[in-house]
Structure 1
């Protein structure tokens, strides 16, 4: 029963971490994408780079959360 509680707590932590990273970043991507679209229409093509960088940073953030979750999960299963 103790391991079930540990698994549930780990899942809750993972979902909170993922929500924190993705909620903030997806909102920023949506807003910046609208702005970049307008700037590109006005000839400022570099504006799209900002959205691309933010999306790449978001992807890195998700990978870090997942990597941390996997490492923690492996350590718990092996007792380390």
Structure 2
């Protein structure tokens, strides 16, 4: 293969790889005790909701023989 063509292909490959590099930022939070308590409660509610979803779907299948769709599950969430 031509040396210049090889360089061009390698260079183009580098450009393509370079174009998909994502930028990241780090932030340090210093929450108050009240904010920590609120974040922990929010995390607990999210975890409980996530863990109850399969249980709810399983119970619906066992009792009614019906599978609950993702759309129906979204409708059960509080607004």
- Is TM (by shorter chain) over 0.5? no
- TM bucket (normalised to shorter chain) is 0.3 to 0.5
TM-score w.r.t. length of structure 1: 0.40
Q: Which has the larger radius of gyration?
A: 2
Give the TM-score, by structure 2 length: 0.40
The structure with higher relative contact order (CA 8 Å, sep 6+) is 1
